[in-house]
Amino acid sequence: MPNAELTHHQSMRYSRHIMLPAMDFEGQEKLLAAKILVVGMGGLGCACAPYLASGGVGQLTLADDDVIEFHNLQRQILFTEQDIGQAKAEVAARHLRRLNSEIRIDSLVQRLDAEALDTLVANHDLVVDCCDNLATRNLINQACHRAKTPLISGAAIRMEGQLAYFSMQPETPCYACFSQFFGEQDLSCMEAGVLAPVVGVIGSLQATMAMQVLAGIGSQLEGQVTLFDATRGDWQQFKLTCSPTCPVCAGAR
């Protein structure tokens, strides 16, 4: 992706990024030149997207077809009591434009099928999956795999969170290498509930990882899965390998 050179004004705005040796001017220019698709503006999206906007990712597309409901307010912290009944993607975009009016923020109030995802994913440099169901996660993974667009996946349920990165380059694992081993009941907070700040932990990690990937910070992210258990305050990390039985990527190898 082409890097736009920073203006003096932008250098001031993002100075606390730029003084990080790993980020520097070059990394910030990459963030400003990048286009990220955030799918899902629930708890994860509400935690992730504000950092992407305030941190100077140049273009954000926020996709969600839901409206804000009373029981969302417990954890979806971009929304207020006055926003109930309005489209999540539109309210979130409006809020983030106030955080940073110098980047482009688009909202998309639409259920994304495979065809819509293909077009969208191919138009972005990175996809952050903040959705709340396995069927959509699998569709996003398939679109990212087809377009070779990197994917950062997040999930939170009960007191547990999960984060994973897939570069979608040849001979690397995809989300389905992992998700083929669990069912929908493992990933839905509809019946199981979720502790509010756990979505904040995972959403913030998704934003952190997005900036690492875009700016080229850290090299050990490929196929990395991080699990957080708030009950025990415990973190676990492991590396995924390509599954020979993966329904998405095994045939392409």
49 vs 151, beta carbon nearer Zn ion: 151
59 to 188, 214, 241: CA distances (angstroms): 29, 13, 32
Asked if 108 interacts with Zn ion (CB under 5 A), we say no
Stretch of 18-26, 48-56, 174-182, 189-197 lying at the interface with Zn ion (CB under 5 A): 174-182
CB of 23 to Zn ion, least distance (A): 31
Please, what's the largest Cα pairwise distance for the chain?
52
User: Which residue from 37, 44, 49, 177 is in contact with Zn ion, where contact means CB under 5 A?
Assistant: 177
Q: How many CB atoms lie within 10 A of CB 139?
A: 21
Please name the helix (run of DSSP H) or strand (run of DSSP E) that holds residue 234, with its range, or none. Answer: strand 234-239
Of 183, 147, 191, 154, the residue nearest 168 (C-alpha): 147
- The least CB distance from residue 134 to Zn ion, in Å, is 15
Beta strands in 71-140 (DSSP E): 104-108, 126-129
| Nearest distance, CB of residue 153 and Zn ion, angstroms | 12
Which of 174, 189, 205, 209 contacts Zn ion by CB under 5 A?
174
- Listed residue (187, 150, 188, 154) closest to 168, CA to CA: 150
**In this complex, which beta carbon is closest to Zn ion, that of residue 85 or of residue 251?**
251
Phi and psi at residue 29, to the nearest 5°: -65, -35
Which pair of structure tokens corresponds to residue 18? 């730029």
- Residue 168 makes contact with Zn ion by CB under 5 A: no
CB of 226 to Zn ion, least distance (A): 18
Site string for Zn ion, 127-166 (x = CB under 5 A): ----------------------------------------
Going by DSSP bridges, is the β-strand pair 160-166/234-239 parallel, antiparallel, or unpaired?
unpaired
CB of residue 51 vs Zn ion: minimum separation in angstroms?
28
Based on CB atoms, which residue is closest to Zn ion, 177 or 198? Answer: 177
Residues that bind Zn ion (CB under 5 A): 174, 176-177, 246, 248-249
